[in-house]
Structure 1
Amino acid sequence: MSWKSMASMVPMDLMGTIFLSFQERLDFSCALFNPEGGLIANAPHIPVHLGGMQYTVKFQIDHRGIENIKEGDVYLANHPTAGGCHLPDFTVITPVFFKGHKTPVFFVANRGHHADIGGLVPGSMPPNAHHIDQEGASFISFKLVDEGVFQEQRLIDALKAPGKVPGCSAARNISDNIADLNAQIAANRKGIQLVTSLIEEYSLDVVHAYMQHIQNTAELCVREMLKKVGRKVLEKTGKSQLSGEDFMDDGTVIKLTVDIDSEEGTAIFDFTGTGPESYSSCNAPRAVTMSAVTYCLRCLVEKDIPLNNGCLAPIQIKIPEGTLLSPSETAPVVAGNVLTSQRLCDVIFKTFDIVAASQGCMNNLVFGDETCGYYETIAGGAGAGNGFHGRSGVHTHMTNTRITDPEILENRFPVILREWKLRDGSGGSGKWEGGDGVVRQLEFTRKLTLSLLTERRAFQPYGLHGGQPGQRGLNLLKRGGRAVNIGSKASFEIQKGDILCIETPGGGGYGAPENS
């Protein structure tokens, strides 16, 4: 169920808008879930989507009641209450029915980033939001298709709703949203065809059994890893407990303690001590924390297993209420998904003492007006570990999207790509060196609204075991012969002829440099 199979199901007149959001940047994930909503298998290239989607599918089952979910229904959700990671990421969920069964035998779902859903700024990723209503249209459990009938007018009304919020706009190109949602529905339809053909060939009992085997294998692998780590730490320190912390650029701490039962192979991930809910949009919904923990566990396991619900079976996650990782229902969350999620991964890997910090950021750039909207995430440096250098100019951890080709960027938007290169020397030195960040300069050819959401502009990506930290990132606006530092988060009017220069952070080094 890839974007290619998705594209094959969509009429050609819809393809132009779909390709930029989904095909060009690959900001789209598909997954298969069991009848209880547990993740079975997925296309694993965007980890932040996957743990959250599991939460979303389970929410729909509990919210609607399994007996009320009908064949031909399709559900749409993006709100944190329903397991959304941030509002522009729309999750589309379709039940899979099979002959003679009155309730779903599986669920298929996908999550894709929409270019604009209304709110304070074009692109719907405002760094200056203080309430979730300012981030665009929200859906907790919207029946997008009701027993085969697409609910277009109800959808249009919902996408116009943000225009009623003071200072905000409705979704700026609703036809694009409808086209992208049709693509998401088509992807699920393709997934249903593939699943039902598998059931027809092997029988439902056999398919269910093997799906459970996949999850059991993942659980066993995580338990083995925890037993190994727990015994090693117990031998070294006298107790099977790990701890670590790191700081957001505003000084908010993310703190983690992991208590391991090395006999059972279980662990409690306790985020007590993490700083309070933020007035900014750096708040991370619980689904984001689940995604980060699931992804890191999968990385720590020394076997090639598919990421699925079994990884979390031996894990208990504790998050005190009112923190950065458990915000109130009205808290803005867009930066929590794209920035705080990255710092969560750094904290988890630091706690397990396994790899130096990555760039810790997705380097989010959004620009547009009432006629166009564009969003991209920009690569940086990966952290080094024992036995390997960090990669340069890559997406790290929770994101793995592709950047738009320069020819397409310049052809479709009022921008000229002036520079795009590795930022030499920005990775931390060490026995194993951190990866370098990148330099990206864009010149704008007309007035637009521009927004930036970035991190690691204050705190450097840390090194481990004597390795040096990576360089901080830097955002510069060049206008009229001046170059001004605009900080890590900003939203402003960009003028014709302005040049934006983004220098992304490098990764931390590992081990003391051999020539020191």
Structure 2
Amino acid sequence: MEDLHQKADFQGHKAVLSGPAGGVVGYSQTLFGVETDKPLIGFDMGGTSTDVSRYAGSYEQVIETQISGVVIQAPQLEINTVAAGGGSKLKFQFGAFRVGPESVGAHPGPVCYRKGGELAVTDANLLLGYVIPDYFPSIFGPTEDQPLDINATRYEFEKLAKQINSYRKNQDPLAKDMTVEEIAQGFVNVANETMCRPIRQLTEMKGHETKNHALACFGGAGPQHACAIARALGMKEVLIHRFCGILSAYGMGMADVVEEAQEPYASIYDPESVLEASFREATLLKQVKQKLQLQGFKEENITTETYLNLRYEGTDTAIMVKNPINEDGLTGDYAVEFVKLFQQEYGFKLQNRNILISDVRVRGIGVTNLLKPLALEPASVDAKVEGYYKVYFANEWHDTPLFRLEDLAYGHMILGPAVIMNGNSTVIVEPNCKAIITKYGNIKIEIGSIQSTVKIANEVADVVQLSIFNNRFMGIAEQMGRTLQRTSISTNIKERLDFSCALFGPDGGLVANAPHVPVHLGAMSSTVRWQLNYWADNLNEGDVLVTNHPSAGGSHLPDITVITPVFDKGNLVFFVASRGHHAEIGGITPGSMPPFSKSIWEEGAAIKAFKLVEKGHFQEEGITKLPTISLF
């Protein structure tokens, strides 16, 4: 949660992800509306994992979360976590670079900790100069009094380089050996791409343009990767709080006290139900205000928010819609806001469908953070360079100036490449980037020309490219699966998870699949190829195909496959496909899986090839008649 609780009111589930939640409060309260008006993506990179979040003026919450296999049904901040951090293991497996999800832990830790550990992201950063041993305490080794060991790190990377270069020579005898620096940079690039995946899920999957955000970076390791993450996502602005290494703790101290109340209210959305909902909201608001006043909050320090939980009739995908305020300061139309949010998140809206109210919810907020940030004095002298260090950028070493944040003042501008030490983290300013010290002592980095971190290989696939694209394609397949599950009203899809999603090349070959149902994934490539041969040159942008026939690559008839060809400038570049089990397809027994059937029609409707959507137009009449026609 993003709020504080009295001891008597504390419950265990409210402490889950409390550290990352503190960071969300920290950057939202100190950066949004202060350093930028752009929506913020919180990027909190620590030792074992990276947590990402989004803030655009209000905290984004989810009602249900699953953490370590445990489902928690309670309002919580929406925080996506990926197992990639400073301690993530580096491995070369199956011809690709792997980062995590296993961690070397705090003990024995990375190789450089001098305790017999394994290579980790921290080792790669150390080798590349992103970690400066001179500014780390001597607390390593068996007696915990030694500095970081860069020699041990280099030795282990040299051993790994022999393995990687041997593999590459087997693939291409003319391949040039990779240096240890190139290998370390490759692992960092793969780690960065891994950490980009949850950010894309948090933005693109909900209809937001990632590049329109600013990256609010914190955590012990986050500022080392901030510029690279921003480049990969197309962002042009990075914000780093002066207390970025301890921002989660700082944010906890700024958290407000929140009281919430919610009650069910089942009704079709219309003027009468909205009026009734407003009466219920007023009653609930009175309750939460009284609770806050009992905790010592005065009326002027209490703010309130009201919500309606809305969904389309016939679906169970509800969206908690905050009270929309129009230009006159009056309550707007919840339904209009719901349709806007639904289309933004799912890409479509349901015409001629009633909107239902499921719940009424209110929040009372006792504001505790009444302090104003202190402004720095403007800079009167040039920024002081503490020293120069070798740092590896873009396949070459650079003599890079190092600055101490405490020596910098408001208005100081530092051109990359540069390193800024702030006592609790290391900030890497990459080439073509510019760091500016803000009025309140924070660091704003302007990302220069956005350059791709990937170069396309002409013949043999590069091992780093392969790893990066694997992450990107897997991320797309996973997003497909989550969207399918959330929009479905079928128990088979939403709860049993009897579906699969995958990407296929222009020839129908499998490129990447999410970890879904193996029996689906094994046959889907044949299905895509069959449709490609059948439709030949009659595939157009905006087409969506549907099939379930075994002779067309299907399994049994209840498994229906939907295939979408994707075009770029008129050229077919790949396919996306989903296969899901349907409870009924018109067979002779309920469930459409008769054990004694002798003909395929006894199982139900058999569809070899049909355009569910043709050039962007949904063929509702055709798909309605098709099951009847296909039986005979």
TM-score, with length taken from structure 2? 0.24
- Relative contact order (C-alpha < 8 Å, sep 6+): which is higher? 1
Structure whose alpha-carbon radius of gyration is higher:
2
Q: Which has the higher strand share?
A: 2
TM-score where L is the length of structure 1: 0.29
